[in-house]
Structure 1
Amino acid sequence: MLGAVATLPYQVFYLIYDIGFYWAVFSANLVFITAYLSVVICNAVGRHSLARDLALSVACTQVFVVTLLISSAAGVQLFYFSVGAFLALIYSNMNSRRFWLQSAGIGALFIISQFLFTPARALTPVPSPFVDIMFGGSVLGVLALSAVISYLYRREIEQAELELKLNNRKLTTLSVTDTLTGLANRRKLDETLLREWERTRRNGLPLSFIMCDVDHFKIYNDNLGHQAGDVCLQQAASILQEALVRPGDLVARYGGEEFAIVLPDTNAVGAHQVAETLRQAVGAMRIPHVPEEGVAFLSVSLGVTTVERPGPDELPEILLKKADEALYMAKANGRDQVVYLALTDQPLHA
């Protein structure tokens, strides 16, 4: 389209000034305009490689033929600079050898057109002062066309950069997401816990941690199958996620049927309340379990602990260990309950 549009001002001049004298160049340009339009059609039907090669061939041939007919004084050969810039836009995957060969070929065509197709040798030269006006128009046309090509090239780069950012963002999200439940995975949990641990150490704000286990999940899996078990975990994950109202809280799949919840800026009382809310939310859904095994509906057990300000040598793993001990107590005491253990409490088991 750019080639066809750039040709139109010259056609208007030939038509108005002396169509009989310039019939040869006028007719040739009509052929070239038709060829440019065929490039658009090739692109529209998905023949992109053909369209690319045809556009380059038509542009090079047109500049050569028109310069031969009206002479280099009209400046049409200057469009080879735009054609050279065009290479970088349409041949993004071209190997370096082919690129330099094509660039050298375009350079050779420019030299031939510039120094051999003089006004004295032109078949239909443009008289003065129109030739000077046409030369100025050619310069403006080259600059405008090169600017458009540069803009398109820049847009392609920006689009590629945007796609790269989006893909990187997707990959980053996938790397910290559990594929089954859509919750954060163990990697995200570890990163978040460490970050909040350091923040608690700096600011002295409490940090709570909850371990949550789906009760009698092995029975559920053994009786209903692994596919049903996966659906069960997805349902439990959804309930836990929806029950957390603060954006800073994190629920993650710890492994198997276990989930972990990080609660920044939450003291022991608040953490116990959150855990109880989670337990009740799962129970309220009344998800059928295996009545034949004495379990009517799905339930969860939760172990909770809190750190007020970590010591300089303490690591966040002590939260995981203490919350796991509290979870063990909840399951040992009959399941479907919340047990809180402070970090200083003695564990129930060694």
Structure 2
Amino acid sequence: MIEVIKTCWSPGTKGTQGALRRQIELCNQLGLFCTAATTPYQLFYYFYDFAAYRGVFLFNLVFITVYLSVLPLNHLRWHTTASTTLVLNSCIQLFVVTFFIGTGAGVSLFYFTFAFVIIFLYQNLRRRTYVALLAAIGLLYLMAQFLFPAEAARTPVPSPWLEAMYAGSVAGVLTLSGVLLHLFHRAIDRAEKELTFNNRYLEDLSNTDPLTGLGNRRALGEALNREWARLARQSGVLTTVMCDVDHFKRFNDHHGHDGGDRCLQQIADVLRGMLSQPPALAVRYGGEEFALVLPGTDAQQARILCERLRSAIERLRIPNRGMGEHAVVTVSIGVASTEHADLRPHTDDSKRLLKRADEALYQAKANGRNQVVYLSYQGLAKQA
């Protein structure tokens, strides 16, 4: 049932997002609300004394038609025309109906609601324009009050129907005001959610390597600093890993950059599969280099993990014909780790730990590649 109701005010919303979508929905909702609010008055005019109220009845039929035309106007993407039609039709209707039945029925009270409906219906409305529209609506209300008092009504409404109409008008004004406030609150909540989502998306985008989908150097720096600060506060161990694709330049020369990109993506998939649980992090450090941050992983665990990683990449059997007919892509890996006890007070040496892993990687490549070399951070700390 709710979905059916939503469909009634959906014309023109397809393909639109954000504030424009909310503006179109509100315009359609108000068109339907004004139609519904006019209907009880029409029933009274028709059944009570149609001959006496023929004029106001026929005028209201025109106004209802115009209200309903807002939906096809929005469907045709004439959003500004729809909003303007809605506001003008409402203001004119209130004035004309008050002319016929006087101010005693309270119809002119709806001017107060439409005074702030405007700001919802128009995007980027200038302050001067809004003030001018408010002044115009206020002037219409005052004119209706002074020109069409209850005792001078053309077709007066007898008691107790007059009092019932006034109560209905007050209820309608309060209902519409409450609905608008609710919609305004929902719009703010939705806008905040959209902003939070967009900010999160942009943050993820700025920390992600577009080729592999892994983190980038920025994400590496943030993670390393965060884990180093945690290690400085409490006991634990932190390991960093540097990984380099062996002879990747020759691979690119023979297989082309597209082939090189596919190769890096396959290696990234292996890394992602082995580090599925945060806070462990795999990033593309640059070119054919990858880096890992492994909180809570000691030297022995890291060496086992990296050996599995090296073996898994070799088992991909990605041909590297730049190195020979039967050569496959392999990686060299350098590992370095440190414990809470190794840290010097009040220092931030997280980059030195990564540098130590890079030194281990250099040794792995110097020793013939396709192997894992481990160096402890403690040795570097003693050198410093």
Bucket of the pairwise TM-score, normalised by the shorter protein: over 0.9
User: 198-207 or 152-161, which moves further after superposition?
Assistant: 152-161
Conservation of the 8 A alpha-carbon contact between 1:243 and 1:281: no
The corresponding residue for 1:97 is: 128
Q: 2:155 aligns with which of 120, 124, 130?
A: 124
2:366 — aligned with what?
Answer: 332
Q: How far is the alpha carbon of 1:158 from its aligned partner? A: 1.9
Q: CA deviation at 1:103?
A: 0.8
Q: Which residue in the other structure is 1:280 paired with?
A: 311
Distance 1:275 1:182 in 2: 20
Q: How many residues in Structure 1 have an aligned counterpart in Structure 2?
A: 347
Give the 5 Å matches for 1:198-347.
Answer: 198-290=229-321, 293=324, 296-309=327-340, 310-312=343-345, 313=347, 315-345=349-379
Structure 1 SS opposite 2:336? strand
> What displacement does 1:137 show?
1.0
2:200 corresponds in structure 1 to 169
Give me the whole-angstrom Cα distance separating, in 2, the residues matched to 1:30 and 1:120. 25
2:311 & 2:378 partners in 1: Cα distance? 28
Is the CA contact 2:91–2:111 (under 8 Å) kept in the aligned structure 1? yes
Distance in 2 (CA, whole Å) between partners of 1:130 and 1:343 is 90
Contact in 2 for aligned 1:330/1:336 (Cα 8 Å) = yes
Aligned equivalents of 1:16 and 1:194: distance in 2? 78
> What amino acid does structure 1 have at the position aligned with 2:106?
G
TM-superposed deviation, 1:224: 1.8
1:346, distance to aligned residue in structure 2 (A)? 7.4
Give the C-alpha shift of residue 37 in structure 1: 0.5
Contact 1:204 1:308 in 2 (8 A): yes
RMSD of aligned alpha carbons: 1.6
Question: Where do 5+ consecutive residues of structure 1 fail to align?
Answer: none
TM-score where L is the length of structure 2: 0.87
Offset, 1:340: 0.7
Give CA-to-partner distance per residue, 1:248-295, whole Å, 9 cap, x none. 210011111111101101111011111111111111111111255466
Q: In 2, Cα distance between the equivalents of 1:33 and 1:203?
A: 71
Q: In 1, Cα distance between the equivalents of 2:298 and 2:185?
A: 53
In the TM superposition, residue 315 of structure 1 has moved relative to its aligned partner by: 0.8
Alignment of 1:25-174 (within 5 A): 25-174=56-205
Within the alignment, does 1:194 sit opposite 2:225 as a pair? yes
Per the normalisation by structure 1, the TM-score is 0.95
Counterpart position of 2:33: 2
Aligned-partner Cα distance in 2 for 1:78–1:244: 65
Letter in 1 for 2:372: V
Letter aligned with residue 325 of structure 1: E
Contact 1:283 1:298 in 2 (8 A): yes
In 2, Cα distance between equivalents of 1:95 and 1:293: 71
